[in-house]
Amino acid sequence: MTNVNIEITNTAQAYVKDAIKWKSRTEGEEIARDKVKSAISDWKAQLETLPESGKACEYYDSPEFRELIKGDYRFIYEIRKVGEQFNIYLLIFCHVRMDYQTLIKQFPHY
């Protein structure tokens, strides 16, 4: 049986807060929070079922770094597999129109 552990890094948590703050300017904080939470829930649900889904992130040279789009948001994450255990770490969360290459370059593990 495959086990999946998903962790949202501190950096990604800050990006989530920024996304909610940005979206709340036009839709209100509660609606913005619900939309972002929904996208994160969809992402988690997909990876819990298919942990190796997503495509290789074009700005990383390693296949462990993946990206997946859910709704209006892009998820950049790392997959570490040990036996049947998948440890997935959300590194970057941003709107699909955002220049995420810049965010990747600012990420401490780049």
10-residue block means of pLDDT along the chain (110 residues)?
89 94 93 95 96 90 92 95 94 88 67
Dist CA 42 CA 37 (whole Å): 9
Give me the pLDDT at residue 109, please. Answer: 56
Instruction: Look at the chain and report how many structural domains it folds into.
Output: 1
Give me the pLDDT at residue 100, please. Answer: 78
- Residue 110's nearest CA partner among 81, 84, 87, 76 is 76
CATH code at position 72? 3.30.2310.20
Give me the pLDDT at residue 26, please. Answer: 92
Give me the pLDDT at residue 49, please. Answer: 94
pTM, two decimal places: 0.89
Dist CA 21 CA 1 (whole Å): 39
Domain of residue 69, residue span = 3-106
